[in-house]
Structure 1
Amino acid sequence: MPYAAPGQVVGLLGGSFDPAHQGHVHITREALKRFGLDKVWWLVSPGNPLKERGPAPLEERLIHARQVMRHPRVEVTDIEARLGTRYTAQSLSKLQALYPRVHFVWLMGADNLAQFHLWQDWQEIIDTVPIGVLARPGQRLSARMSRAATLYAPYRIPGRFGHLLARSQPPAWCFVNLPMINVSSTAIRASGAWSA
């Protein structure tokens, strides 16, 4: 398991990373800056319950992700496989029990906010940890009009105050616009460039 000191702020970026790409790297670096994070842990998931097709083998995705994401404050992990969790809410609960004095922030692209209400126990997630949302190509409007964004509108922190997110009491979320890199794992797989 990765190390985090008491009081540190750790951003958690979950996903299948099938494959990891420069878009993931970009939003990770931006999250470190915009949300004042000490570290980011990539949670390379064993599988995504919302996707019909299973991902490439976990070990291959981890190896590739570690080649793509090189930063001294970012760790690529298989935490969910180690914890035996399948859903984000379960993972967060176990991580908070293991690291009771660490401040976690859940990170997601705007595409995930747009369908966040489909996640198992999604309201438990937003009521448990602050959420940092990073703009993705073509997803700004659908994310801002999503069920989660509408229901939790009173708890939104303006992007210019993103540095306050990590120490905010949940529910709290912040949407930041960034210069975007238009690349996706789906497009990479479709092009045949990832055949793990």
Structure 2
Amino acid sequence: MNKKIKIGVLGGSFDPAHKGHLAISKEAKKRFNLKKIIWAITKKNPLKIESKTSLLKRTQNCKKIIGLNSFIKVKFYENVIKSNKTIDLINHLKKNKDIEIYFLMGADNLINFHKWQKSESISKKCNIVVFDRHGYKKNSLKSKTFKKLNNKTLTFVEFKKVNISSSQLRKI
């Protein structure tokens, strides 16, 4: 049997992209032996308010942050899949039977993951890799999803955290 190609998917509005996104991408590549990582940029996160920064500007900023890390690709899928839901992106990517998906997220997202559309289906179709974020560890480890999935399809990664967030950067 052919070995599947491992890819990481980091979804978000990247408003703005920052070195924390890059740090978890590099860490995920190293720990899970990922061939490439897709930064799946969204026009609007379904659980957040719409970004004031244009998609083009956010995409350009992503590329600037990525720099020479050519294993990371910035992609916008919403025109193709006609959705901004993670499950639809995962289903679209899974059409390629040769890939194994590692869905990357910060610990803050794990807290409300059970509210995501078809979150159980997402966790069955890919490996979920949760990166510890400053101030979120306790609540994320108490979350419904962590209790249900821990050590099955979910890996909680503790590493030297970059204490930065897009919402903090927007305030600057």
Question: What TM-score comes out, normalization by structure 2 length?
Answer: 0.93
2:161 is aligned with 1:180: yes
CA deviation after TM superposition for structure 1 residue 64, in Å? 0.7
Per-residue CA deviation, residues 79-110 of structure 1 (Å, 9 max, x unaligned), is 2343222100011111111x221111111111
CA-atom RMSD, angstroms? 1.6
Residues 1:57 and 2:51 aligned together: no
> What does residue 77 of structure 2 align with?
79
Match of 1:17 among 14, 17, 30: 14
Q: Secondary structure at the match of 2:38?
A: strand
Aligned runs of 1:154-165 on 2, under 5 Å?
Answer: 156=151
Flag structure 2 segments of 5+ consecutive residues without an equivalent: none
Count of aligned pairs: 170
Q: Which moved more, 1:141-150 or 1:52-61?
A: 52-61
Aligned mates of 1:84, 1:65 — CA distance in 2: 22
- Runs of 4+ aligned structure 1 residues displaced above 6 Å come to none
Give the match's secondary structure for 2:37. strand
Q: Is the 8 A contact 2:20 2:165 kept in 1?
A: yes
Contact 2:20 2:163 in 1 (8 A): yes
Aligned to 2:5: 8
Residue pairs, 1:30-69, within 5 angstroms: 30-69=27-66
Which residue is 1:91 aligned to?
A: 89
1:55 positional shift:
4.5
Check the 8 A contact 2:13/2:51 in 1, yes or no. no
Which residue number in structure 2 is paired with residue 110 of structure 1?
Answer: 107
TM-aligned CA deviation for residue 46 of structure 1:
1.6
Contact map agreement 1:131 1:174 (CA 8 A) in 2: yes
Asked whether 1:123 is paired with 2:120, we answer yes
Give TM-score, length-normalised by structure 1: 0.82
After superposition, the Cα gap between the structure-2 partners of 1:56 and 1:81, relative to the gap in structure 1 and judged at 3 Å, is farther
Unmatched runs of 5 consecutive residues or more in structure 1 = 1-5, 157-170, 192-196
